[in-house]
Structure 1
Protein backbone atom coordinates (compact mmCIF):
# COMPACT_ATOMS: atom_id res chain seq x y z
CA UNK A 1 0.00 0.00 0.00
CA UNK A 2 1.28 3.46 -0.88
CA UNK A 3 2.22 5.81 1.92
CA UNK A 4 0.30 9.04 2.38
CA UNK A 5 1.04 12.40 3.94
CA UNK A 6 -1.32 15.08 5.13
CA UNK A 7 -1.32 18.31 7.08
CA UNK A 8 -3.99 20.13 8.99
CA UNK A 9 -5.32 23.46 7.78
CA UNK A 10 -3.19 25.16 10.47
CA UNK A 11 0.07 23.36 9.75
CA UNK A 12 3.05 23.99 7.49
CA UNK A 13 5.73 21.32 7.15
CA UNK A 14 9.40 22.33 7.37
CA UNK A 15 11.76 20.25 5.22
CA UNK A 16 15.48 21.02 5.60
CA UNK A 17 17.43 20.14 2.47
CA UNK A 18 20.47 18.06 3.36
CA UNK A 19 22.19 19.18 0.15
CA UNK A 20 23.28 22.26 2.10
CA UNK A 21 24.60 20.33 5.10
CA UNK A 22 28.30 19.54 5.40
CA UNK A 23 28.45 16.06 3.79
CA UNK A 24 31.13 14.96 6.26
CA UNK A 25 28.96 15.98 9.23
CA UNK A 26 25.45 15.48 7.90
CA UNK A 27 24.11 13.39 10.77
CA UNK A 28 25.51 15.86 13.28
CA UNK A 29 23.93 18.77 11.38
CA UNK A 30 20.50 17.13 11.27
CA UNK A 31 20.62 16.03 14.90
CA UNK A 32 21.55 19.59 15.91
CA UNK A 33 18.09 20.64 14.71
CA UNK A 34 16.66 18.71 17.67
CA UNK A 35 13.63 17.61 15.70
CA UNK A 36 12.64 21.13 14.61
CA UNK A 37 11.55 19.82 11.22
CA UNK A 38 8.86 17.57 9.74
CA UNK A 39 10.73 15.80 6.96
CA UNK A 40 14.17 15.74 5.39
CA UNK A 41 14.54 16.73 1.73
CA UNK A 42 17.11 14.87 -0.39
CA UNK A 43 18.12 16.26 -3.80
CA UNK A 44 19.34 13.71 -6.32
CA UNK A 45 21.18 15.18 -9.34
CA UNK A 46 22.58 13.30 -12.32
CA UNK A 47 24.75 15.93 -14.04
CA UNK A 48 22.53 15.78 -17.15
CA UNK A 49 19.11 17.19 -16.34
CA UNK A 50 20.85 19.61 -13.97
CA UNK A 51 24.50 20.73 -14.12
CA UNK A 52 25.53 19.10 -10.87
CA UNK A 53 26.00 15.71 -9.24
CA UNK A 54 24.78 14.73 -5.80
CA UNK A 55 23.79 11.72 -3.78
CA UNK A 56 22.59 8.21 -4.59
CA UNK A 57 20.36 5.62 -2.93
CA UNK A 58 23.03 4.67 -0.38
CA UNK A 59 22.55 8.03 1.33
CA UNK A 60 18.79 7.54 1.54
CA UNK A 61 19.33 4.03 2.91
CA UNK A 62 21.72 5.36 5.56
CA UNK A 63 19.30 8.14 6.48
CA UNK A 64 16.51 5.60 6.88
CA UNK A 65 18.71 3.56 9.22
CA UNK A 66 19.77 6.65 11.18
CA UNK A 67 16.29 8.18 11.45
CA UNK A 68 13.79 5.33 11.01
CA UNK A 69 10.74 7.45 11.86
CA UNK A 70 11.56 10.57 9.83
CA UNK A 71 9.75 11.30 6.57
CA UNK A 72 12.26 11.22 3.73
CA UNK A 73 11.39 13.43 0.75
CA UNK A 74 13.50 12.47 -2.29
CA UNK A 75 13.58 14.81 -5.29
CA UNK A 76 14.85 13.19 -8.49
CA UNK A 77 16.43 15.82 -10.72
CA UNK A 78 17.45 13.22 -13.28
CA UNK A 79 16.85 12.14 -16.84
CA UNK A 80 14.97 8.85 -17.26
CA UNK A 81 13.51 8.95 -13.72
CA UNK A 82 11.84 5.58 -14.31
CA UNK A 83 15.28 3.98 -14.04
CA UNK A 84 15.73 5.29 -10.49
CA UNK A 85 12.39 4.46 -8.89
CA UNK A 86 13.13 0.96 -7.63
CA UNK A 87 16.50 1.76 -6.05
CA UNK A 88 15.27 4.82 -4.15
CA UNK A 89 12.00 3.23 -3.10
CA UNK A 90 13.86 0.15 -1.86
CA UNK A 91 16.32 2.41 0.00
CA UNK A 92 13.44 3.61 2.16
CA UNK A 93 12.25 6.96 0.92
CA UNK A 94 8.66 7.99 1.71
CA UNK A 95 8.09 10.56 -1.05
CA UNK A 96 9.56 10.24 -4.53
CA UNK A 97 9.25 13.27 -6.78
CA UNK A 98 10.02 13.40 -10.51
CA UNK A 99 10.11 16.34 -12.91
CA UNK A 100 7.38 16.88 -15.46
CA UNK A 101 10.11 18.00 -17.88
CA UNK A 102 11.93 14.63 -17.78
CA UNK A 103 9.11 12.12 -18.12
CA UNK A 104 7.23 11.93 -21.46
CA UNK A 105 5.16 9.10 -19.95
CA UNK A 106 4.62 10.91 -16.65
CA UNK A 107 1.41 9.14 -15.67
CA UNK A 108 3.12 5.75 -16.01
CA UNK A 109 6.12 6.89 -13.94
CA UNK A 110 3.91 8.20 -11.14
CA UNK A 111 1.95 4.95 -11.07
CA UNK A 112 5.27 3.08 -10.80
CA UNK A 113 6.13 5.17 -7.74
CA UNK A 114 2.77 4.48 -6.14
CA UNK A 115 3.13 0.75 -6.85
CA UNK A 116 6.41 0.78 -4.92
CA UNK A 117 4.59 2.13 -1.86
CA UNK A 118 5.89 5.72 -2.02
CA UNK A 119 3.99 8.98 -2.23
CA UNK A 120 4.21 10.06 -5.89
CA UNK A 121 5.32 13.64 -6.35
CA UNK A 122 5.73 15.82 -9.42
CA UNK A 123 7.99 18.86 -9.77
CA UNK A 124 8.02 21.80 -12.13
CA UNK A 125 10.80 24.22 -13.08
CA UNK A 126 10.36 28.01 -12.93
CA UNK A 127 10.04 28.34 -16.71
CA UNK A 128 7.54 25.51 -17.23
CA UNK A 129 3.80 26.30 -17.48
CA UNK A 130 1.81 25.07 -14.50
CA UNK A 131 -0.84 23.70 -16.89
CA UNK A 132 1.53 20.84 -17.72
CA UNK A 133 0.74 19.39 -14.29
CA UNK A 134 -3.03 19.30 -14.47
CA UNK A 135 -3.45 15.89 -16.19
CA UNK A 136 -1.62 14.08 -13.35
CA UNK A 137 -2.89 16.00 -10.32
CA UNK A 138 -5.51 13.34 -9.46
CA UNK A 139 -2.77 10.76 -8.81
CA UNK A 140 -0.08 12.76 -6.98
CA UNK A 141 0.33 13.39 -3.28
CA UNK A 142 2.77 16.28 -3.62
CA UNK A 143 3.52 19.02 -6.15
CA UNK A 144 6.96 20.62 -5.87
CA UNK A 145 7.24 24.12 -7.32
CA UNK A 146 10.87 25.05 -7.95
CA UNK A 147 11.51 28.67 -7.03
CA UNK A 148 15.04 28.57 -8.47
CA UNK A 149 16.43 26.79 -11.51
CA UNK A 150 17.44 23.41 -10.08
CA UNK A 151 20.99 22.24 -9.75
CA UNK A 152 22.64 24.25 -6.98
CA UNK A 153 21.87 25.42 -3.46
CA UNK A 154 22.08 29.01 -2.32
CA UNK A 155 20.29 30.63 -5.28
CA UNK A 156 17.97 33.63 -5.12
CA UNK A 157 14.22 33.12 -4.93
CA UNK A 158 12.23 33.73 -8.15
CA UNK A 159 9.02 35.46 -6.96
CA UNK A 160 7.09 34.96 -10.20
CA UNK A 161 6.61 31.26 -9.36
CA UNK A 162 4.11 32.22 -6.67
CA UNK A 163 1.47 32.59 -9.38
CA UNK A 164 1.87 28.85 -9.96
CA UNK A 165 1.40 28.20 -6.25
CA UNK A 166 -1.78 30.26 -6.21
CA UNK A 167 -3.10 28.41 -9.25
CA UNK A 168 -2.34 25.03 -7.68
CA UNK A 169 -4.06 26.09 -4.48
CA UNK A 170 -7.14 27.16 -6.44
CA UNK A 171 -7.24 23.88 -8.37
CA UNK A 172 -6.92 21.91 -5.14
CA UNK A 173 -9.74 23.80 -3.47
CA UNK A 174 -12.12 23.50 -6.42
CA UNK A 175 -11.26 20.05 -7.79
CA UNK A 176 -11.09 16.46 -6.57
CA UNK A 177 -7.40 16.69 -5.67
CA UNK A 178 -5.48 15.82 -2.51
CA UNK A 179 -1.91 17.00 -2.99
CA UNK A 180 0.41 19.06 -0.84
CA UNK A 181 2.10 22.09 -2.41
CA UNK A 182 5.82 22.21 -1.73
CA UNK A 183 8.28 24.96 -2.66
CA UNK A 184 12.05 24.75 -2.94
CA UNK A 185 14.67 27.36 -3.75
CA UNK A 186 15.85 30.49 -1.99
CA UNK A 187 13.44 30.12 0.93
CA UNK A 188 14.39 31.86 4.17
CA UNK A 189 12.82 33.61 7.14
CA UNK A 190 12.54 36.68 4.88
CA UNK A 191 10.08 35.14 2.40
CA UNK A 192 8.61 32.04 4.06
CA UNK A 193 5.54 33.99 5.12
CA UNK A 194 4.91 35.10 1.55
CA UNK A 195 5.08 31.60 0.10
CA UNK A 196 2.81 30.18 2.79
CA UNK A 197 0.22 32.89 2.24
CA UNK A 198 0.30 32.00 -1.47
CA UNK A 199 -0.67 28.43 -0.60
CA UNK A 200 2.40 26.33 0.20
CA UNK A 201 2.01 23.43 2.63
CA UNK A 202 5.64 22.26 2.67
CA UNK A 203 8.67 24.55 2.75
CA UNK A 204 12.11 23.29 1.74
CA UNK A 205 15.06 25.28 3.06
CA UNK A 206 18.71 24.37 2.68
CA UNK A 207 21.26 27.15 2.99
CA UNK A 208 18.93 29.28 5.12
CA UNK A 209 18.94 26.57 7.79
CA UNK A 210 22.23 24.69 7.56
CA UNK A 211 24.39 27.75 6.84
CA UNK A 212 22.80 29.80 9.64
CA UNK A 213 24.67 30.66 12.81
CA UNK A 214 22.03 28.70 14.73
CA UNK A 215 20.26 26.20 12.43
CA UNK A 216 17.87 25.14 15.21
CA UNK A 217 16.76 28.69 15.99
CA UNK A 218 16.42 29.48 12.30
CA UNK A 219 14.22 26.44 11.68
CA UNK A 220 12.16 27.32 14.74
CA UNK A 221 11.70 30.91 13.59
CA UNK A 222 10.78 29.74 10.09
CA UNK A 223 8.08 27.53 11.61
CA UNK A 224 6.75 30.41 13.71
CA UNK A 225 6.52 32.75 10.72
CA UNK A 226 4.94 30.05 8.58
CA UNK A 227 2.29 29.31 11.23
CA UNK A 228 1.36 32.98 11.48
CA UNK A 229 1.17 33.27 7.69
CA UNK A 230 -1.02 30.18 7.51
CA UNK A 231 -3.54 31.84 9.82
CA UNK A 232 -3.65 34.92 7.59
CA UNK A 233 -3.90 32.85 4.40
CA UNK A 234 -6.88 30.78 5.51
Structure 2
Protein backbone atom coordinates (compact mmCIF):
# COMPACT_ATOMS: atom_id res chain seq x y z
CA UNK A 1 0.00 0.00 0.00
CA UNK A 2 1.49 3.35 -1.03
CA UNK A 3 1.70 6.25 1.38
CA UNK A 4 -1.17 8.70 0.97
CA UNK A 5 -0.67 12.29 2.09
CA UNK A 6 -3.66 14.56 2.65
CA UNK A 7 -2.99 18.30 2.53
CA UNK A 8 -5.93 20.51 3.50
CA UNK A 9 -5.88 23.88 1.73
CA UNK A 10 -6.68 26.63 4.20
CA UNK A 11 -8.14 28.64 1.33
CA UNK A 12 -11.41 26.94 2.33
CA UNK A 13 -10.93 27.35 6.09
CA UNK A 14 -12.51 29.91 8.40
CA UNK A 15 -10.09 32.84 8.11
CA UNK A 16 -11.36 34.41 11.33
CA UNK A 17 -10.13 31.39 13.30
CA UNK A 18 -7.25 30.11 11.22
CA UNK A 19 -5.00 28.86 14.01
CA UNK A 20 -7.77 26.69 15.48
CA UNK A 21 -8.76 25.41 12.04
CA UNK A 22 -5.19 24.22 11.40
CA UNK A 23 -4.91 22.60 14.84
CA UNK A 24 -8.26 20.86 14.40
CA UNK A 25 -7.61 19.54 10.90
CA UNK A 26 -4.10 18.34 11.76
CA UNK A 27 -5.28 16.57 14.91
CA UNK A 28 -8.01 14.94 12.79
CA UNK A 29 -5.54 13.16 10.54
CA UNK A 30 -4.19 15.64 7.98
CA UNK A 31 -0.53 15.24 7.02
CA UNK A 32 0.40 18.81 6.11
CA UNK A 33 -1.08 22.21 5.30
CA UNK A 34 -1.38 23.82 1.86
CA UNK A 35 -1.12 27.63 2.00
CA UNK A 36 -2.56 29.31 -1.10
CA UNK A 37 -1.21 32.77 -1.87
CA UNK A 38 -3.21 34.68 -4.51
CA UNK A 39 -2.38 38.18 -5.67
CA UNK A 40 -5.42 39.37 -7.67
CA UNK A 41 -3.04 39.70 -10.60
CA UNK A 42 -1.86 36.30 -11.75
CA UNK A 43 -5.18 34.89 -10.50
CA UNK A 44 -8.48 36.75 -9.89
CA UNK A 45 -8.50 36.54 -6.11
CA UNK A 46 -6.65 37.92 -3.09
CA UNK A 47 -5.81 35.81 -0.06
CA UNK A 48 -3.00 36.24 2.46
CA UNK A 49 0.67 37.11 2.64
CA UNK A 50 3.78 36.16 4.56
CA UNK A 51 2.68 37.99 7.73
CA UNK A 52 -0.13 35.47 8.19
CA UNK A 53 2.32 32.59 7.97
CA UNK A 54 4.69 34.36 10.36
CA UNK A 55 1.85 34.82 12.86
CA UNK A 56 0.90 31.15 12.63
CA UNK A 57 4.49 30.14 13.35
CA UNK A 58 4.55 32.48 16.34
CA UNK A 59 1.39 30.74 17.56
CA UNK A 60 3.36 27.48 17.67
CA UNK A 61 1.90 25.95 14.51
CA UNK A 62 4.70 23.48 13.74
CA UNK A 63 2.99 21.44 10.99
CA UNK A 64 4.58 21.25 7.56
CA UNK A 65 3.27 24.14 5.48
CA UNK A 66 3.57 24.14 1.70
CA UNK A 67 3.29 27.68 0.35
CA UNK A 68 1.72 27.79 -3.13
CA UNK A 69 2.48 31.12 -4.79
CA UNK A 70 -0.11 32.13 -7.38
CA UNK A 71 1.51 35.51 -7.82
CA UNK A 72 4.04 37.53 -9.77
CA UNK A 73 6.67 38.89 -9.59
CA UNK A 74 8.10 36.19 -7.34
CA UNK A 75 11.49 37.29 -6.10
CA UNK A 76 10.50 39.38 -3.07
CA UNK A 77 7.68 37.02 -2.13
CA UNK A 78 10.04 34.05 -2.13
CA UNK A 79 12.34 35.71 0.40
CA UNK A 80 9.42 36.88 2.57
CA UNK A 81 7.91 33.41 2.83
CA UNK A 82 11.27 31.73 3.42
CA UNK A 83 11.83 34.05 6.37
CA UNK A 84 8.24 33.56 7.61
CA UNK A 85 8.65 29.81 8.04
CA UNK A 86 7.59 27.99 4.87
CA UNK A 87 8.68 24.36 4.67
CA UNK A 88 8.14 24.20 0.91
CA UNK A 89 7.54 26.85 -1.73
CA UNK A 90 5.69 26.03 -4.93
CA UNK A 91 5.41 28.38 -7.90
CA UNK A 92 4.11 28.44 -11.47
CA UNK A 93 6.84 28.44 -14.17
CA UNK A 94 5.07 31.18 -16.14
CA UNK A 95 5.35 33.55 -13.16
CA UNK A 96 9.07 34.09 -13.66
CA UNK A 97 11.63 34.37 -16.45
CA UNK A 98 14.18 32.65 -14.22
CA UNK A 99 12.87 29.25 -13.10
CA UNK A 100 16.31 27.83 -12.36
CA UNK A 101 17.30 30.89 -10.33
CA UNK A 102 14.15 30.75 -8.18
CA UNK A 103 14.62 27.04 -7.53
CA UNK A 104 18.22 27.69 -6.47
CA UNK A 105 17.17 30.45 -4.05
CA UNK A 106 14.67 28.15 -2.36
CA UNK A 107 17.15 25.27 -2.20
CA UNK A 108 19.91 27.44 -0.77
CA UNK A 109 17.62 28.40 2.10
CA UNK A 110 17.12 24.71 2.95
CA UNK A 111 13.50 24.72 1.85
CA UNK A 112 11.80 22.23 -0.47
CA UNK A 113 10.94 23.33 -3.99
CA UNK A 114 7.87 22.75 -6.13
CA UNK A 115 6.65 23.56 -9.63
CA UNK A 116 2.93 23.98 -10.29
CA UNK A 117 1.34 23.29 -13.67
CA UNK A 118 -2.09 24.58 -14.68
CA UNK A 119 -4.37 22.27 -16.71
CA UNK A 120 -3.15 23.66 -20.06
CA UNK A 121 0.46 24.43 -19.07
CA UNK A 122 3.23 22.50 -20.81
CA UNK A 123 5.58 20.30 -18.79
CA UNK A 124 8.56 21.08 -21.02
CA UNK A 125 10.60 22.98 -18.39
CA UNK A 126 10.86 19.81 -16.28
CA UNK A 127 13.40 18.44 -18.73
CA UNK A 128 15.85 21.17 -17.67
CA UNK A 129 15.27 21.53 -13.91
CA UNK A 130 13.80 18.27 -12.61
CA UNK A 131 16.94 17.57 -10.57
CA UNK A 132 16.16 20.67 -8.48
CA UNK A 133 12.47 19.89 -7.93
CA UNK A 134 11.20 18.16 -4.77
CA UNK A 135 7.49 18.43 -5.57
CA UNK A 136 5.41 18.63 -8.73
CA UNK A 137 1.88 20.00 -8.38
CA UNK A 138 -0.73 19.48 -11.06
CA UNK A 139 -3.79 21.71 -10.95
CA UNK A 140 -7.03 19.79 -11.39
CA UNK A 141 -8.83 23.11 -11.87
CA UNK A 142 -7.94 26.53 -13.20
CA UNK A 143 -6.37 28.40 -10.25
CA UNK A 144 -8.02 31.29 -8.46
CA UNK A 145 -11.00 29.90 -6.56
CA UNK A 146 -11.85 26.98 -4.31
CA UNK A 147 -14.78 24.63 -4.80
CA UNK A 148 -14.33 24.03 -8.54
CA UNK A 149 -15.01 20.74 -10.34
CA UNK A 150 -12.09 18.49 -11.28
CA UNK A 151 -11.01 18.60 -14.93
CA UNK A 152 -11.01 14.93 -15.98
CA UNK A 153 -8.25 15.30 -18.57
CA UNK A 154 -5.87 15.95 -15.66
CA UNK A 155 -5.80 12.19 -15.04
CA UNK A 156 -3.77 11.71 -18.22
CA UNK A 157 -1.37 14.43 -17.14
CA UNK A 158 -0.92 12.75 -13.75
CA UNK A 159 -0.01 9.48 -15.47
CA UNK A 160 2.46 11.31 -17.70
CA UNK A 161 4.19 13.05 -14.77
CA UNK A 162 4.25 9.82 -12.78
CA UNK A 163 6.17 8.26 -15.65
CA UNK A 164 8.57 11.23 -15.82
CA UNK A 165 9.27 10.93 -12.09
CA UNK A 166 9.86 7.19 -12.24
CA UNK A 167 12.19 7.53 -15.20
CA UNK A 168 14.15 10.24 -13.40
CA UNK A 169 14.85 7.93 -10.41
CA UNK A 170 14.45 11.01 -8.19
CA UNK A 171 12.43 11.27 -4.97
CA UNK A 172 9.74 13.71 -6.09
CA UNK A 173 6.25 13.94 -4.62
CA UNK A 174 3.39 14.35 -7.08
CA UNK A 175 0.53 16.53 -5.80
CA UNK A 176 -2.95 17.08 -7.22
CA UNK A 177 -4.61 20.39 -6.39
CA UNK A 178 -8.27 21.21 -7.00
CA UNK A 179 -11.55 19.37 -7.29
CA UNK A 180 -10.51 16.33 -5.22
CA UNK A 181 -13.44 14.60 -3.52
CA UNK A 182 -14.65 11.19 -2.37
CA UNK A 183 -15.92 10.26 -5.84
CA UNK A 184 -12.69 10.84 -7.75
CA UNK A 185 -9.83 10.44 -5.27
CA UNK A 186 -9.40 6.71 -6.03
CA UNK A 187 -9.03 7.42 -9.76
CA UNK A 188 -6.56 10.22 -9.03
CA UNK A 189 -4.57 7.93 -6.73
CA UNK A 190 -4.59 5.17 -9.33
CA UNK A 191 -3.20 7.60 -11.91
CA UNK A 192 -0.19 8.22 -9.66
CA UNK A 193 -0.68 11.10 -7.24
CA UNK A 194 1.05 10.97 -3.83
CA UNK A 195 -0.35 14.12 -2.20
CA UNK A 196 -4.00 15.15 -2.36
CA UNK A 197 -4.69 18.82 -1.72
CA UNK A 198 -8.22 18.99 -0.36
CA UNK A 199 -10.16 22.14 0.42
CA UNK A 200 -13.91 22.55 0.52
CA UNK A 201 -14.54 18.79 0.81
CA UNK A 202 -12.84 18.94 4.22
CA UNK A 203 -13.61 22.38 5.60
CA UNK A 204 -17.28 22.23 4.64
CA UNK A 205 -17.59 18.96 6.51
CA UNK A 206 -18.90 18.94 10.09
CA UNK A 207 -16.42 16.23 11.08
CA UNK A 208 -12.82 16.67 9.90
CA UNK A 209 -11.72 13.30 11.28
CA UNK A 210 -14.48 11.41 9.49
CA UNK A 211 -13.99 13.03 6.08
CA UNK A 212 -10.19 12.69 6.18
CA UNK A 213 -10.53 9.02 7.13
CA UNK A 214 -12.93 8.42 4.23
CA UNK A 215 -10.68 10.25 1.77
CA UNK A 216 -7.67 8.20 2.84
CA UNK A 217 -9.61 4.96 2.54
CA UNK A 218 -10.82 5.85 -0.96
CA UNK A 219 -7.34 6.93 -2.03
CA UNK A 220 -6.04 3.52 -0.99
CA UNK A 221 -8.88 1.77 -2.85
CA UNK A 222 -6.98 1.54 -6.14
CA UNK A 223 -6.92 -2.17 -6.92
- 1:149-206 deviation line (CA, Å, top 9, x unaligned): 1011011111111211111111111223221100101111111111111110100001
Aligned to 2:56: 63
Cα offset for 1:134? Answer: 2.7
Q: 2:14 aligns with which of 14, 22, 27?
A: 22
Are 1:213 and 2:206 an aligned pair? yes
Aligned to 1:87: 80
Contact 1:36–1:219, Cα closer than 8 Å, also in 2: yes
Aligned to 1:10: 2
Give the whole-Å Cα distance in 1 for the aligned partners of 2:155 and 2:75. 29
Aligned to 1:183: 176
Contact 1:100–1:133, Cα closer than 8 Å, also in 2: no
Cα offset for 1:216? Answer: 2.2
Cα offset for 1:215? Answer: 2.3
Cα offset for 1:67? Answer: 4.5
Are 1:193 and 2:186 an aligned pair? yes
Cα offset for 1:65? Answer: 3.0
Seen in structure 2, the aligned counterparts of structure 1 residues 67 and 226 have a Cα distance that, compared at 3 Å, is farther
Aligned to 2:127: 134
| Aligned-partner SS, 2:182 | coil
Cα offset for 1:35? Answer: 3.9
Map residues 116-127 of structure 1 onto 2, 5 A cutoff. 116-127=109-120
The more displaced of 181-190 and 130-139 is: 130-139
Cα RMSD, aligned residues only: 1.4
Are 1:143 and 2:136 an aligned pair? yes
Pairs aligned (count): 222
Structure 1 stretches of at least 4 aligned residues deviating more than 6 Å after TM superposition: none
Contact 2:28–2:208, Cα closer than 8 Å, also in 1: no
Give the whole-Å Cα distance in 2 for the aligned partners of 1:67 and 1:196. 32
